[in-house]
A and B are shown apart, each in its own frame.
Chain A
Amino acid sequence: MARIVGKFKRLFKRGGEEERVEEPEDEYAREAREEAIQRALQIASKQLEPEKLVETARKDMSKALDELREYFGFEWMAVIDEQGKPIGMSGDGSFDHELINAIKRVFETARDADTIIVSSEEGSNYLAVKVNGSVAICETKTTPSDADVFMLRSDLSMVVESAKVPSPVEEETEVPYVIADRQGLVVDSQGIREPDRAAAEISRLIDLLDDYMEVHLEWVKLGTKSGKTLAVKPYKDVLIAFVVESDPEEVDEKCERIAKSLMSKLEFLIGHTTESSKSKAESPNEG
């Protein structure tokens, strides 16, 4: 296992700005030891059930990642495919695209490398492991041990492979959709002919309902004679609209699942935009 350990201060916008207060060395050593003991106790007290994890990953990749993240005590983790497209994420906090791009570049340059550990001055560590063509990136407060990396690789391998098995959930992520803001401007879309016009009409419909009904809208579902349903879900400041073809008995359940999947995708997009804006604001002289 090749390992590149480095301090990429530029990658971590949160780190390195303030002067670090030096503490006595023995204090650090004691803290590190206590942390390691705590970590060992945590791992010993919890057990991941591989079969359950595989089943969860088949149904919902993000949920399986939630379990892994909690088990390993990561702050957040994300899995990207070979093209850098996110295929699952878990945990709070912003999605650092600068970090992900940097990790991708390191893996592209050091072709034999399969693990990267990056530590920051403020104590957050970043671990990236290549698993079955995908890359998992995790943020952790503790320094990952070789055993952690080995176990993570093994568990992630199961999760990534299981998620590749075609399942109804995976098919659902291919549904035509448009995500628009309340003014009808498209945030993201897939498989919708003229998404701008669709978004404009959808936002007009929701405006009408908001004006007339003065209730908290949860769903608007439009069923057509061709057996298709256009489902619209107001979520935060946007409208998530997608088309499903399903039996009337199953349509509501299917809509909930698809909406959840698109919400995750939206959260990723919001994270991306926030990060891009933040980095532009922080380096106004660049570019």
Chain B
Amino acid sequence: MIEKVLADLNRVDGVHGSLVVSSDGLIIAEAVPPDIDSEVVGAIATTVYGSGERVVDEMDLGDLEQMLIESTEGKVMIIAVSEEATLVLITDPDANLGLIRLRAQEAAEEIAKQL
């Protein structure tokens, strides 16, 4: 179950919520607290990830695998699960990104198997 993978991911210190979004912005699975509007997050994540893909493509850097948006209010990590889906994580501003990156990558691989 993808929800189980997301719930496990949310246990990592600093992770506030996570969701899997299709390439057209629809929510496939989610584990987010009530204060987060997952549909809005999903739509924004899909749009900015698409823009990120155009940037790295334009600069000839290879296929985009991961996008990290850091702000004073928090961080958003978007990871490619497959060509049709991305995993989105919302974290605290001071979250330990090293560990989160690692767990998110493992989760993305697990989710890809289940899709």
Interface residues of chain A, those whose CB is within 8 Å of chain B, are: 192-194, 197-198, 201-202, 204-205, 208-209, 212-213, 215-226, 228, 230, 243, 248-249, 252
B1 within 8 A of A: no
Q: Are A205 and B72 in touch, CB under 8 angstroms?
A: no
Across the two chains, which residue of chain B brings its CB closest to A212? B44
Choose from B60, B64, B66, B70 the contact partner of A218 (Cβ within 8 Å).
B70
What's the Cα separation between A204 and B76 when bound, in Å? 18
What's the minimum C-beta distance from A177 to chain B, rounded to whole angstroms? 11
Which residue of chain B is the closest to A218 with respect to CB atoms? B70
In the complex the two chains form, is A220's CB within 8 Å of B69's CB?
A: yes
| Chain A to chain B contacts (Cβ below 8 Å), 21 pairs | A192-B59, A198-B59, A201-B51, A204-B51, A208-B48, A212-B44, A215-B72, A216-B71, A217-B70, A217-B71, A218-B71, A222-B52, A222-B56, A222-B64, A223-B65, A223-B68, A224-B61, A225-B64, A228-B61, A228-B62, A230-B61
Contact B44 A213 (CB under 8 A): yes
Chain A contact residues: helix, strand, loop or mixed: mixed
Which chain A residues lie closer than 8 Å to B12 at the CB level? Answer: none
A71 and B58 alpha carbons, distance in the complex (Å): 48
The answer to whether A224 touches B56 (Cβ under 8 A) is yes
A residues within 8 A CB of B47? 208, 212
Which of A194, A198, A209, A222 has its CB near the most chain B CB atoms (within 10 A)? A222
Given contacts A213-B76, A248-B101, 13 further A-B contacts (CB under 8 A): A202-B55, A208-B48, A212-B47, A213-B71, A216-B72, A218-B72, A220-B68, A222-B67, A224-B61, A224-B63, A224-B64, A230-B56, A252-B97
B61 lies within 8 A of A226 (CB): yes
Most buried by B among A205, A225, A243, A252: A205
Q: Which residue of A lies closest to B53 (CB)?
A: A222
Asked if A219 and B60 sit within 8 Å, CB to CB, the answer is no
Interface size, chain B (Cβ < 8 Å): 30
Kindly state the separation between the CA atoms of A220 and B77 in the bound complex, as whole angstroms: 10
Contacts of B4 on A, CB cut-off 8 Å? Answer: none
What's the minimum C-beta distance from A41 to chain B, rounded to whole angstroms? 44
Is the CB–CB distance between B59 and A249 below 8 Å? no
Least CB distance from B62 to A in Å reads: 3
Name the residue on A nearest B49 (C-beta).
Answer: A222
Q: Are A213 and B56 in contact (CB under 8 A)?
A: no
Known A-B contacts A224-B63, A225-B62; A215 and B71 likewise in contact (beta carbons under 8 Å): yes
Instruction: Give the chain B neighbours of A205 by CB distance below 8 A.
Output: 48, 51-52, 54-55
Closest 10 CB pairs of A and B: A226-B62, A215-B71, A224-B62, A223-B66, A219-B70, A221-B68, A205-B51, A201-B55, A212-B44, A218-B70
Q: Contact between B61 and A213 (Cβ–Cβ < 8 Å)? A: no
Contacts of A228 in B (CB 8 A): 61-62
A178 to B65, CA, bound (A): 21
Query: Which residues on B sit within 8 Å (CB–CB) of A230?
Result: 55-56, 59, 61
- A219 to B97 Cα, complex, angstroms: 13
Residues of A within 8 A of B37 (CB): none
